[in-house]
Structure formats: C-alpha cells, structure tokens
C-alpha cells in the first residue's frame, strides 16, 4: 500500500488522457450541455412560467443532466478496461488494480468541472445573473461535484457488472430519467401526482434546490442542503464500495 | 537445473456457470526450467489460457498446486506478481495513448524508481524497434507493433518469468518473425518464458520443451524434436488422379498401397531424397495431380498422440474467455 498514492495518480493521468482524447466524451462534455441549455431556454423557456427567468431556473438542471450523459462515457470506459485485457494485466502486477476505477472517476470529476464552467459561462452570456458570494459559488460547485462523484461511481459499478458495451450504454437511460423526474426543469407541483411523490423523494430534487438557492444567494443553513449532501455522500459511498466489491468478485 | 514454474494436478471447472461442461483443467502437471522457454501447445479450448490465468494469480485452481520461484500462486500471490509479467491473449495497451505514454504508465504502475522510468522506456522502445513511432497514438500502429509494445509493457521490471498467451495469433508472418526475435532476446537476457500457442512451428522455433495439452491435461511432453519423432518426420505427399494410380506409384516408392488416391513417403527433406522420390514417380509414368513436402502439423501431432484431430475441440461452443 506504500504505492497507493502513486498508483492513483498514474491512473488519474491515464483517465484524463483517455477522456480528453475521446471525441465522443469531449462532445458530450463540451457541446451537448450547451445545446441542451439552448434547447431548454429557447424552446421551453416561453412555455414554463415560474416567476423568475427560466434560464436561472434551468441552469443547475442542465449541469446535472450533463453529468448523467458523461457518466455513460465512464461506464463504457470501465467496461472496455474489464473486457480488453487491461484489468487482467493490472491484476497480474503488484498494483492495487481497482485504482483503475478511481482513475476514471477523477477524470470524470475534472471533465464535469469543465462542463459546469462552460454551462455557467454560456448561461451568464444568455442573461443568467447569479447573486452568490464566492463562498456560495464554492458550495454550489461542491454540491455539484458530490453529485457527479455519486453518478460516476454508479457508472463505474455498471461498467464492472455489464458484459457488453451496449449494456453499458443503456445505463444512460437510467440516469437521464432522474433529472427529468425532479424539479430540474419544471416545478414538482406541475408533475402528474403519481410522479410527484417520486420527484420529491429522489436525490436530484434536493441537489437542484440546494444549488439554486446557493446561486440566488438565498440559501439559509437549510435542511435541503443537508439532505442533498446526505443523499450524494450516502449513495456515493454505497456505489463506491459496491463497485470495489464487484471489481474484486468479477474474474 | 531448477524449476521456476511448477504445476501439480491443477484442476479447474466452470461448472457452476454451466453444469454440463466438463472440467477445463483435469489434473494438469508441468514444469518450466529456469532460463528456458516452455510452450504449452494445444488447440482452441484446450485450457491454455485457464492455465496461464492460474499461474499468474488471476484465477484460483479448484485443486492442485502451482508455484513461481518457489512461491505458491494462491497463498503468496502478491510475491508472485512481483516476479512475473503477463502478456495476455488480447493486446492490452491503450489505443488513445502514444507508445511512449503507454510504457511510461506501465513503468509507474510497476513502481520503478521515478527517475528510472524514462530511461527504461527509451531503452525498450529502441530494443523493440518502436522508437520511430513512439510519439504516435497506438491506434495508428500495425498489429505487430502493438503486440511488441504489449510485450515491452511486461518487461519494464525485468521479470523472472514472462507469460505469453498466444502472442502471435492473428499476426502476419513477418510480424511473427519479429516477435520471435524479441522473445529470443528476452530469453537471452535471462528471463524464463512460459508461452502458449496453437502453432507447432512456433513451439518448435522458440521452446526448449513443449507440453501438448488436450482436454485440460498434458498428453505429451518433451523437446520439439522428441515430439516430432513420435509423430514422424516430414513426408512427400502425392495426390494422384485415382486409387488405381496410387496402386501403381506406392510399390515404386516402397510404401504400402493406400486405400485412397493419396500417397505419403517419409523424407528427411533433403534435396537428394526428394529428387529421388520424384524420379521414382516419374519412372512409373503416372502424373500426380499435386505434390508437396509437408512437415507434421499440429493436427498430425494430435492425431498421432491423442487419436483425434486437433480441431475437434475447437468445434465446441466458444466460452467467455476463450
Ligand atoms: N470464465 C470462464 N467461464 C466459463 N467457461 C470458461 C471460462 N474460461 C474458460 N472457459 C472454458 O474453458 C475452456 C478452456 O478455455 P481456455 O483456457 O480459454 O482455452 P484455450 O486458451 O486453450 O483456448 C473453454 O471451453 C472455455 O469455454
Ligand atoms: Mg486461450
């Protein structure tokens, strides 16, 4: 374990190189979020009346949606390592082979940080006027990254478990579903009753609400924020441990 | 003469996943002498990869015992991993990284002293004739170059034993030659090599000893020359127009008359002998449809030693890790 830090660093460098050289992943990280943002604001912006400007309302949701898209790339990358012989080689070496997963997660966090910055940038150009203090900005980005960490560990778990790239790709649909059925794009009250219960009690809604409150400078030391952090930390830890165990078990 | 790799009575079954399947390894024994090359020769599905995975600590055997440099591959797995390198059946390099980046990454993962990584990477790239392409992404490389890089990735630490699982399957003849040269160089540097292959020729060219696997056990073991002697030498094969023609030719060549239209004469392969055989055929006035001098193939070896053709097992459904 003397070399754990070095292994994690090496794997993170690898993960970042793989991501930045993967055209699919880069389009998903850089172009797609902007298109989605434009789509929501220009197409639905007029239809949804929530008092404030729709761009202010929808920006955090677009960021989380982008994280979901990006997670599919992570699942694919992990599946490739599992089936390409890379993991077999690592397992025959005196390294902690599971650090290959942390490499992909670190890469995903950095990639999403970039997506987040781009979405905020475009959104501000389009009229988004956050009133957050630097600390609130930091907290908002922190909550987003916690969410990304959870989704990415979940994606890593999926990548370890599935036995084909197609199955890994199918993961997208699962995680895309969560932001749609939350307060990301429309207020929960406007959802059909049978969805509302789910929307109010799933992790994306408190994460969205927390980020919104922080950015609008109206966050109190709220229970919503605690709930968001608890969800992301809890699910993130469960996903991480499950991914580690599945990685060990799959031979 | 000490053994660096030993396996005794290895058994492995994947029956839990498929109850009807026979055991993949059924009491496999073998021994690799330090500094030598051992080739595990067998058809698809014989259990070669499973054996390699057990010896490289990736898989636990159901029964039996295996050691590398005296360390048990199950109990001392982490010690074993420090002494070996594995180049698996699939090429395991990152296509999106350059050759140099791939090796540098492996150097760090192998925990070489940081300052030594660069020198070692440069030395390997040069030794494996990859220096010119080192900066390019591996995705643009040929299959042979990728395989050489794959081998180099296993040599950063100068392992005691190198495991190569079908290193030349799918390579063109020239790349195969180049890879053989690389392996010979590795052996000359003192590394013992455990090789699996489906090609008799490969075993012949590289290995000091060959273990023939079939149905999860070693059915014959010896030097390539010994094995080939058991199978018989090369032969001049004549394909004639009819069994009647064959009945004319066979007596002239002093071989038994075959049932079909095919006559085989053992030969030492020398020009003088082959010419003598052909002259004798010509003297009978019969014109063969086709003739060739053929060395024994893996199929011949299998036919002679196991009584069935080497491809028979390959016809079984391919497994997950086949
Ligand atoms: N993980 C596995 N699960 C189930 N069956 C397997 C697994 N690995 C190998 N097999 C089966 O074991 C047999 C031998 O496989 P393998 O060792 O890969 O042979 P070879 O490398 O000689 O082609 C094959 O029939 C294959 O289907
Ligand atoms: Mg195999």
- Give me the CATH number covering residue B87: 3.40.50.300
Q: What pLDDT was estimated at residue A70? A: 86
How many Å lie between the centroid of ligand 1 and the Cα of residue B232?
31
Q: What pLDDT was estimated at residue A169? A: 77
Q: How far apart are CA B104 and CA B98, in angstroms?
A: 10
What residue numbers bound the domain in which B59 lies? 3-229
> Are B56 and B162 part of one and the same domain?
yes
Top mutation candidate among B50, B169, B213, B310 for ligand 1, by most atoms within 8 Å of CB:
B50
* CA B163 to each of CA A180, A232, B32, B203: distance values in angstroms, whole numbers, following the listed order: 50, 43, 11, 14
Asked whether A129 and A77 are in contact (CB, 8 A), the reply is no
Q: How far apart are CA B83 and CA B155, in angstroms?
A: 11
Task: Enter the tokens of residue B85.
Answer: 């390198």
Per-residue model confidence as pLDDT tens digits over A172-186: 677 777 887 888 888
Main-chain phi, psi angles of B120, to 5 degrees: -65, -40
Residue A221 in this model has a pLDDT that exceeds 70: no
Q: What pLDDT was estimated at residue B317? A: 37
Residue B27 lies in a domain: yes
Residue A51 in this model has a pLDDT that exceeds 60: no
DSSP B232-293: ---EEEEE-SSHHHHHHHHHHTTSPPPSSSEEEEE----HHHHHHHHHHHHHHT---SEEEE
C-alpha triplet A76, A77, A83: angle, nearest 5°: 85
Q: What pLDDT was estimated at residue B304? A: 67
DSSP label at B23?
A: P
For ligand 1, whether the C-beta of B50 sits within 6 Å is yes
> Are B68 and B120 part of one and the same domain?
yes
Asked whether A111 and A31 are in contact (CB, 8 A), the reply is no
- Which residues in chain B are contacts of A10 at CB distance < 8 A? 105, 108-109
Confidence band of B256 (pLDDT split at 50, 70, 90): confident
Asked whether B50 and B42 are in contact (CB, 8 A), the reply is no
- Ligand 1, atom 26: nearest CA belongs to which residue? B319
Residue A153 in this model has a pLDDT that exceeds 90: yes
Residue B309 lies in a domain: no
Q: Does A89 touch chain B (CB under 8 A)?
A: yes
Per the model's pLDDT, the better-predicted residue between A40 and A12 turns out to be A12
- Ligand 1, atom 12: nearest CA belongs to which residue? B24
C-alpha triplet A191, A193, A199: angle, nearest 5°: 60
Residue B266 lies in a domain: yes
> Are B221 and B257 part of one and the same domain?
no
Q: What percent of chain A has pLDDT over 70?
A: 94
Chain B: closest CA distance from residue A103 (Å): 12
- Which residues in chain B are contacts of A93 at CB distance < 8 A? 81, 85, 109-110
DSSP label at B21?
A: S
Do the bridges between strand B235-239 and strand B262-266 make them parallel or antiparallel, or are there none, so unpaired?
A: antiparallel
Confidence band of B312 (pLDDT split at 50, 70, 90): very low
- Ligand 1, atom 11: nearest CA belongs to which residue? B319
**What is the length of chain A?**
251
Per the DSSP assignment, residues forming a β-bridge with B10 are B28
| Interfacial residues of B (vs A; Cβ cutoff 8 Å) | 53, 56-59, 78, 81-82, 84-92, 94, 96-97, 101, 105, 108-111, 137, 153-154, 163
Tell me the mean pLDDT in the region B247-266.
Answer: 87
Q: What pLDDT was estimated at residue A46? A: 65
How many Å lie between the centroid of ligand 1 and the Cα of residue B50?
6
Q: How far apart are CA B46 and CA B297, in angstroms?
A: 17
> Are B88 and B105 part of one and the same domain?
yes
Residue A1 in this model has a pLDDT that exceeds 60: yes
Do the bridges between strand B290-294 and strand B262-266 make them parallel or antiparallel, or are there none, so unpaired?
A: unpaired
**If you measure CA to CA, which chain A residue comes closest to B105?**
A10
Residue B20 lies in a domain: yes
Placement of tokens 């830890």 in the chain: A237
Q: At what angle do helices B224-231 and B298-306 cross, to 10 degrees?
A: 70
> Are B219 and B125 part of one and the same domain?
yes
> Are B180 and B246 part of one and the same domain?
no
Confidence band of A199 (pLDDT split at 50, 70, 90): confident
> Are B109 and B77 part of one and the same domain?
yes
Q: What percent of chain B has pLDDT over 90?
A: 66
Counting ligands in written order, the one closest to the CA of B214 is 1
Helix or strand run (H / E) with residue B102: helix B99-109
Q: How far apart are CA A138 and CA B11, in angstroms?
A: 57
Residue A148 in this model has a pLDDT that exceeds 90: yes
Q: Of the candidates A10, A91, A251, which has its C-beta nearest B105's C-beta?
A: A10
Q: How far is CA B263 from the centre of its chain?
A: 30
> Are B120 and B197 part of one and the same domain?
yes
Tell me the mean pLDDT in the region A189-214.
Answer: 86
Per-residue model confidence as pLDDT tens digits over A68-104: 888 889 999 999 999 999 999 999 999 999 999 999 9
* Domain end (from B229, B250, B266): B229
Q: Where does residue B263 rank: exposed (0-12), middle (13-18), buried (19+ CB within 10 A)?
A: buried
- Nearest atom in ligand 1 to the alpha carbon of residue B50 is 17
Confidence band of B145 (pLDDT split at 50, 70, 90): very high
Q: How far apart are CA B82 and CA B73, in angstroms?
A: 12
Q: Does A129 touch chain B (CB under 8 A)?
A: no
Q: How far is CA B228 from the centre of its chain?
A: 15
Q: How far is CA A100 from the centre of its chain?
A: 19
* Domain end (from B229, B257, B287): B229
Q: Where are the beta strands (DSSP E) in chain B?
A: 3-12, 25-33, 37-41, 63-68, 71-72, 84-87, 161-165, 192-197, 209-214, 217-222, 235-239, 262-266, 290-294
> Are B146 and B25 part of one and the same domain?
yes
Per the model's pLDDT, the better-predicted residue between B96 and B312 turns out to be B96
C-alpha triplet A115, A120, A124: angle, nearest 5°: 150
> Are B287 and B166 part of one and the same domain?
no
Find, among B166, B94, B150, B210, the residue nearest to B322 by Cα. Answer: B166
- Ligand 1, atom 8: nearest CA belongs to which residue? B321
Q: What pLDDT was estimated at residue A48? A: 61
> Are B27 and B170 part of one and the same domain?
yes
Chain mean pLDDT for chain B: 88
Q: What pLDDT was estimated at residue A12? A: 97
> Are B223 and B243 part of one and the same domain?
no
Number of structural domains chain B divides into = 2
Per the model's pLDDT, the better-predicted residue between B201 and B211 turns out to be B211
Counting ligands in written order, the one closest to the CA of A251 is 1
CB contact under 8 A, A17 and B101: yes
Q: What percent of chain A has pLDDT over 90?
A: 55
Asked whether A211 and A60 are in contact (CB, 8 A), the reply is yes
Q: At what angle do helices A223-249 and A99-125 cross, to 10 degrees?
A: 140
CB contact under 8 A, A85 and B91: yes
* Most confident segment among A80-84, A224-228, B21-25, B175-179: A80-84
Residue B76 lies in a domain: yes
Per the DSSP assignment, residues forming a β-bridge with B266 are B235
* Domain end (from B229, B259, B274): B229
For ligand 1, whether the C-beta of B17 sits within 6 Å is yes
Residue B318 lies in a domain: no
Q: ipTM of the predicted structure? A: 0.89
For ligand 1, whether the C-beta of B154 sits within 6 Å is no
Per the model's pLDDT, the better-predicted residue between B206 and A170 turns out to be B206
Helix and strand tally (H, E) in chain B? Answer: 11, 13
How many Å lie between the centroid of ligand 2 and the Cα of residue B166?
7
CA-CA-CA-CA torsion sign (A29, A30, A36, A41): positive
In 10 A of CB A26, how many CB atoms? 16
Tell me the mean pLDDT in the region B226-239.
Answer: 79
Chain mean pLDDT for chain A: 89
Q: What pLDDT was estimated at residue B315? A: 36
Considering only CA atoms, give the Rg of chain B.
23
Placement of tokens 């579903």 in the chain: A177
Helix and strand tally (H, E) in chain A? Answer: 11, 0
For ligand 1, whether the C-beta of B1 sits within 6 Å is no
Question: Both ends of chain B: CA-CA distance in Å?
Answer: 34
Residue B61 lies in a domain: yes
pTM exceeds 0.90: no
Q: What pLDDT was estimated at residue B29? A: 96
Q: What pLDDT was estimated at residue B303? A: 64
Residue B249 lies in a domain: yes
């Amino acid at each position: 374990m003397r070399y754990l830090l070095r292994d994690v660093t090496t794997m993170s460098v690898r993960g970042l190189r793989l991501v930045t050289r993967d055209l699919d992943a880069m389009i998903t990280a850089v172009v797609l979020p902007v298109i989605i943002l434009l789509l929501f604001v220009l197409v639905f912006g007029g239809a949804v009346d929530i008092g404030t400007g729709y761009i202010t309302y929808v920006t955090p949701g677009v960021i989380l949606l982008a994280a979901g898209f990006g997670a599919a790339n992570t699942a694919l990358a992990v599946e490739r390592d599992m089936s390409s012989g890379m993991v077999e080689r690592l397992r025959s070496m005196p390294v902690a082979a599971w650090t290959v997963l942390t490499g992909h997660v670190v890469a995903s966090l950095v990639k999403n940080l970039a997506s987040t910055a781009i979405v905020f940038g475009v959104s501000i150009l389009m009229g988004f006027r956050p009133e957050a203090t630097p600390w609130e900005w930091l907290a908002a980005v922190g909550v987003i990254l916690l969410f990304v960490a959870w989704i990415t560990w979940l994606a890593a778990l999926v990548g370890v478990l599935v036995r084909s790239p197609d199955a890994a790709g199918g993961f997208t649909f699962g995680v895309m579903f969560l932001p749609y059925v939350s307060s990301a794009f429309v207020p929960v009250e406007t959802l059909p009753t049978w969805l509302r219960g789910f929307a109010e009690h799933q992790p994306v809604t408190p994460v969205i609400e927390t980020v919104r409150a922080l950015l609008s400078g109206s966050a109190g030391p709220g229970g919503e924020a605690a709930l968001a952090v608890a969800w992301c930390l809890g699910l993130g830890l469960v996903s991480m441990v499950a991914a580690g165990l599945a990685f060990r078990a799959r031979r | 003469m000490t053994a660096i790799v030993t396996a005794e009575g290895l058994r492995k079954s994947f029956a839990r996943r498929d109850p009807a399947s026979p055991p993949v390894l059924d009491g496999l024994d073998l021994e690799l002498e330090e500094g030598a090359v051992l080739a595990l020769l067998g058809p698809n599905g014989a259990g070669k990869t499973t054996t390699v995975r057990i010896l490289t600590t990736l898989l636990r055997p159901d029964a039996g015992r295996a050691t590398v440099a005296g360390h048990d591959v199950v109990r001392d797995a982490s010690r074993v991993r420090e002494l070996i390198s594995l180049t698996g059946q699939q090429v395991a390099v990152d296509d999106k990284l350059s050759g140099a980046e791939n090796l540098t990454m492996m150097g760090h993962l192998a925990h070489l002293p940081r300052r030594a990584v660069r020198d070692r990477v440069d030395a390997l790239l040069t030794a494996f004739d990859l220096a010119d392409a080192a900066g390019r992404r591996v995705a643009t490389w040929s299959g042979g170059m990728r395989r050489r890089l794959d081998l180099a990735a296993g040599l950063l630490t100068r392992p005691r034993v190198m495991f190569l699982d079908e290193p030349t399957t799918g390579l063109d003849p020239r790349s195969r030659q180049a890879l053989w040269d690389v392996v010979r160089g590795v052996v000359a540097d003192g590394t013992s090599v455990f090789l699996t292959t489906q090609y008799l020729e490969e075993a012949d060219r590289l290995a000091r000893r060959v273990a023939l696997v079939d149905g999860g056990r070693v059915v014959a073991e010896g030097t390539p020359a010994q094995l080939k002697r058991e199978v018989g030498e090369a032969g001049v094969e004549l394909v004639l127009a009819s069994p009647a023609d064959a009945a004319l030719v066979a007596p002239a060549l002093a071989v038994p008359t075959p049932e079909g239209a095919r006559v085989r004469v053992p030969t030492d392969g020398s020009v003088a002998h082959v010419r003598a055989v052909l002259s004798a055929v010509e003297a009978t006035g019969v014109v063969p449809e086709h003739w060739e001098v053929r060395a024994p193939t893996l199929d011949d070896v299998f036919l002679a030693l196991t009584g069935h053709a080497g491809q028979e097992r390959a016809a079984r459904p391919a497994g997950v890790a086949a």
